[in-house]
Amino acid sequence: MSVTNIFLISGCATQQVSYQNDVVPIFEYSCIECHTSPDGIGYKATGLEMDSYQSLMQGTVYGPVVVAGDSRRSILNMLVEGRAGKPQRMPHNEDEVLSSAQIETLRNWVNQGAYDN
Ligand code: HEC
């Protein structure tokens, strides 16, 4: 394990993430267009609506996509990080893959407890 990894894991460089200020803008820019009812194609396919904290935490018709405190097990993080493979990567439009800073923000938010803060 490299020194950088140790710092990231121990949280030295991690500041408190705000759902309203940090997470919502990412969703609004990259996700909502497809994950809103009644016409978003991601909503139609899975029932996942991302325009409120409550609906996000409800997840899809199959269950939650955010496991508070555990980004490794959260489907949402898996998909934006491309851990589930390229075809599943979110957002679906290839040219709009999230930046590593945005991916990090979502990871930290989940690991810090996925609060509505
Ligand atoms: C261009 C449309 C589109 C955009 C933009 C989009 N999605 Fe999706 N999303 C879909 C579709 C369609 C599905 C249904 C499953 C599939 O086709 O892979 C889906 C499914 C999902 C699922 C559920 C996967 C499962 O297996 O239960 C999650 C979580 C998800 N999207 C998260 C996101 C996040 C986070 C963003 C923004 C970073 C995003 N999506 C942006 C279209 C989109």
Which residues have CB under 8 Å from 115's CB, separation 6+?
Answer: 19, 109
Query: In this structure, which amino acid lies at residue 68?
Result: A
User: Is the CB of 46 within 6 Å of ligand 1?
Assistant: yes
Looking from the CA of residue 106, the nearest atom of ligand 1 is 35
Long-range contacts of 75-83 (CB under 8 A, 24+ apart): 76/106, 76/110, 77/103, 77/106, 77/107, 77/110, 80/106, 81/107
Tell me: pLDDT of 6 over 70: no
Residue with the larger pLDDT of the pair 12 and 108: 108
- What is the pLDDT, as a whole number, of residue 109? 98
Q: Is the peptide bond before 38 cis (omega within 30 degrees of 0)?
A: yes
Task: Find the 7 Cα to ligand 1 centroid distance in Å.
Answer: 31
pLDDT tens for each residue of 26-81: 999 999 999 999 999 999 999 999 999 999 999 999 999 999 999 999 999 999 99
- What is the pLDDT, as a whole number, of residue 42? 97
Q: Is the peptide bond before 91 cis (omega within 30 degrees of 0)?
A: yes
Per-residue pLDDT band at 12 (split at 50, 70, 90)? low
Q: Distance of CA 71 to CAs 36, 38, 44, 59, Å? A: 23, 28, 25, 15
